[in-house]
Amino acid sequence: MLPWVRANPSLCIGNAGVGLETTRQLALHGARVYIASRSEARVNEAISKMRQFKSTVDVRFLKLDLQDLQSVKAAATEFMQKESRLDILINNAGVRRWSRSYGAHY
């Protein structure tokens, strides 16, 4: 259905909500998708649920905390070691907050 996504690596940020649903749709259409997330356990749980629909989905965990620039650099380095290209970046993680809070690098 979406031939251009096949075999082209994608990176989705978020193991829940919009990010997870985007990952699911890309994976079900044949893309190799990395879920960049703070929690490997939550990503593994999400992958297990996807595999109940289609056992062959190619979804992988990439450790990333967007509030920590060292984590961002480490995630980029790890991704580049594993893949030669990034075709689709879904950069949608985040929270809806009314009060301000800042991570280590902000």
The phi, psi pair for 64, rounded to 5°, reads: -155, 130
Q: How far is the CB of 26 from ligand NAP (least distance, A)?
A: 15
Shortest distance, position 32 Cβ to ligand NAP, whole Å: 19
Q: How far apart are CA 83 and CA 58, in angstroms?
A: 14
> Which residues bind to ligand NAP, rule: CB under 6 A?
13-19, 37-39, 42, 64-67, 92-96
Residue nearest ligand NAP (C-beta atom): 17
Nearest residue (CB) to ligand NAP, 9 versus 65: 65
Give dist(CA 57, CA 66) in Å, integer. Answer: 26
**Residue among 20 and 28 whose Cβ is closer to ligand NAP:** 20
